A = this chain, B = another copy of it.
Amino acid sequence: MKKIINNPDNVVEEMLNGMVVSQPQYLKRLEGFDVVVRADKKNSKVALVSGGGSGHEPSHGGFVGRGMLDAAVAGAVFTSPTPDQIYEAIKAVDTGKGVLLIIKNYSGDVMNFEMAAEMAAADGIEVEKVITNDDVAVENSTWTTGRRGIAGTVLVHKIAGAKAESGAALADVKKAAEKVIANERSMGMAIEPCTVPAAGKPSFTLADNEMEIGIGIHGEPGTHRESLKTADEIAQQLVDKILAENIYGTGDEVAVLVNGLGATPLMELYIVSAKVQAILKEKGLKMVKTYIGNYMTSLEMAGCSVTLLKLDNELKELLFAPADTPALVQF
């Protein structure tokens, strides 16, 4: 394992410290907890709390700021945070207008956030939750845990964040978040695995000519392994799987997120994006906004995911609304 760290057991603590001392204009630490909150004064609005295991940076702490999240809770690497931490985050950011929890669909995340929500509700805090599940690699059947939440979660942060900033009520912020979730799908792949610091060895191994398709964001293996293809073929494969969901049609306005998993150079993401845009254009979709870069990573995994979000007027306006966070600034 080759990493620029001090101690595998301290990476989350030291990272959170690095975040707040480096960007005090955006973030402050909830003393004693693995939680970062907005540095500016709380204003009376619905508060957004997200989080999950660490290792997905800039998610989620990087999206704490005006127009997006109010707090992010950081678990151990790839491990959902515990309920007490989430509970503290909820208490810290509630202004009496209620709190929306944005949870990625993993058994662990859902259970821990739900326990925290129960604790906060017992305090009389109004808490609602949405569960992101954009990953089409995983079949959504009544038998399974359902699709995973991956990079599309960031678009939920963005749009629900803008809705909350507009002064909307908790129910409406939740509705906007759910609309994003209903209209977005993602699909990812990797050419190199990652190494959980405390585990010390790669989560899987790939031969020089292999890639994993349908990869998640926790170093877990994907749905299957194939021989390495060209960027165009990869883009085609990811987009085909998304389009097969049949929710995107000619004339639809969409946002695109070409997300790097951590170690993939922007050059490669641009090459993938070129093909993604070409396919979507051919299909008659209108790309009104594309995000390209590392938004939801998996430590130093090399690979990428593509997310598509169908926009109506409300979502489009919220997507384009200003945001000012460490990892996403728009105006």
Q: A residues engaging B (CB < 8 A)? A: 2-7, 11, 14-19, 21-23, 54-55, 57-58, 62, 191-192, 208, 228, 230-232, 234, 256, 258, 262-274, 277-278, 287, 290, 292-294, 297, 299-300, 302-304, 322, 324, 326-327, 329-331
Contact = CB atoms under 8 A, between A and B. Distances in A.
A229 to B, nearest CB: 9
Contacts of A329: 329-331
* Number of identical monomers bound together in the oligomeric complex: 2
Contact of A294 (B23, B294, B322, B331): B294
Nearest to A55: B267
Given A270-B15, A272-B4, A22 B290 contact: yes
Contact of A62 (B14, B262, B266): B266
B55 A2 contact: no
A9 to B, nearest CB: 13
Nearest to A209: B2
A230 B271 contact: no
Contacts of A230: 5-7
A5 B229 CA distance: 9
A160 B224 CA distance: 49
A315 B226 CA distance: 52
B262 A262 contact: no
A18 to B, nearest CB: 3
- In the A-B complex, the 6 residue pairs with the closest CB atoms: A18-B270, A18-B274, A263-B263, A57-B266, A329-B329, A4-B268
B302 A267 contact: no
Contact of A331 (B54, B234, B293, B324): B324
Given A57-B266, A300-B265, A273 B6 contact: no
A302 B303 CA distance: 15
